[in-house]
Amino acid sequence: MAIDAICLTAVVEELKPQLLGLRVDKVQQPARDQVVLLFRGKRLLFNAGAGAPRLQLTEILRDNPAEPPMFCMLLRKHLSGARVADIVQPPLERLVRVEFDASDELGRAGKRTLVLEAMGRRSNLILLDEEDRVIDSLRRVDADMSAQRQVLPGLFYQPPASTGRLPFLEETEEGFAARFAAAPAEKTLDAFLLDQYFGLSPLMARELAFQAAGDTDARVFQLGGPGPLWRALEDFSNRVRDNRFTPVCLTWEGRPLDFACVPVGQYGGGAEAVTYPSFSALLDAFYAARERQERARQRGADLLRAASTARDRLRRKLALQEKEYAETQNRDKLR
């Protein structure tokens, strides 16, 4: 699953006190979508993969290719020796800017910014100069790929366009009541929240519906009024404003299902909630388990494919042999 904006906020709040002022010692790119910055005893992972985009400190050691990719060499040129000046996330966006105090080849002080866009299949990692011009990116986006927004060297960086929905942190009780009254009676509560507000993930929308009505599939007409859902949304908004986050991983029979920044009760006894000391530890454990599952699934698929290929080959041989056998049944007569 892709990390949501609120979990990303929790990660940023966790990283700031640990990384601000540290100097980049090494830059690695162990995989096409992964970049690791090594600090003094810390490893900062940028993952721009479509299935698992995220930013975190990691304890997992990854093998690096014999020849570093071109993007890795570019990052080494601009970020080696740079100090982390700030880590900024625009409100409720799945985007993080890690700003560096750097210097060029002549020793002149400057600024560099590494932008992680953790947006599913549109995830990207972009290096900017002090004027917010694109130096280069992990994935270049030209006019053929997107007519509205290009990500190419030399262009000024433009953040992704807004969805137009109201950020849920800006909602008032009166505004919520008006929106709720105008909602179709048959609409589910989680769908209502996702349609009206920006910044909520599907998991949290279902959780708020569960807290308000005791059922994730509850509909607008079943609630009887906006009060219970508003109180659930207001409580969640206050937790986000106060940075009161709890790293929670949801598992079923030892397999990871999901993770959240607050306790989740919608699964009842159908899932076990495991609390971690930090979001980085949670993300390491969650995605390591997912990768083990994926490797096991891929290995099983490879075995099935090999067995199916061998079976089909034997069937073809048997069919040919049966045909030859049928043709020899009148051999005595022909002799």
Q: What is the mean pLDDT of residues 274-293?
A: 89
Cα(213)–Cα(229) distance, integer angstroms = 8
Q: Is the pLDDT of residue 194 over 90?
A: yes
* pTM (whole model) above 0.75: yes
| Lowest mean per-residue pLDDT among 14-23, 115-124, 286-295 | 286-295
| Measured distance CA(82)–CA(203) in Å, rounded | 38
Residue 18: closest CA among 279, 263, 274, 239: 279
Q: Supply the pLDDT for residue 106.
A: 66
The pLDDT tens digits for 233-265 are 999 999 999 999 999 999 888 788 889 999 898
Tally of CB atoms within 10 A around 131: 8
**Can you list the positions of beta strands (E) in the chain?**
26-31, 34-38, 43-47, 54-57, 83-88, 95-103, 109-117, 124-128, 134-137, 166-167, 197-198, 248-252, 255-260, 272-275
- What value does the mean pLDDT take over residues 293-322? 88
Q: How far apart are alpha carbons 67 and 73 in whole angstroms?
A: 10
- Name which of 116, 80, 74 is nearest 97 in CA terms: 116
Taking residues 152-174, what's their average pLDDT? Answer: 90
Give the H/E segment covering residue 173: helix 173-182
- Which amino acid, one-letter code, is at 7? C
Q: At 1, is the pLDDT very low, low, confident or very high (cuts 50, 70, 90)?
A: low
Tell me the average pLDDT across 279-286: 92
pLDDT tens digits, residue range 53-109? 999 999 988 889 989 999 999 999 999 999 999 999 998 999 999 999 988 766 677
Which residues are within 8 A (CB) of 81 and not within 5 positions of it... i.e. 6 or more apart? 23, 24, 102, 103
Mean pLDDT of the residues in the chain = 90
pLDDT interval class at 270 (50, 70, 90): confident
Diameter over CA atoms, the chain: 101
Among 3-12, 13-22, 321-330, the minimum mean pLDDT is found in 321-330
Least confident of 35-49, 123-137, 262-276: 262-276
Specify the pLDDT at position 234: 95
* 302 vs 101: which has the higher pLDDT: 101
| CA–CA dist 184, 164 (Å, integer) | 20
At a CB cut-off of 8 Å and minimum separation 6, what does 111 contact? Answer: 85, 99, 100, 101, 102, 129, 130
Handedness of CA 294, 300, 302, 308 (dihedral sign): negative
pLDDT over 70 percentage in the chain: 99
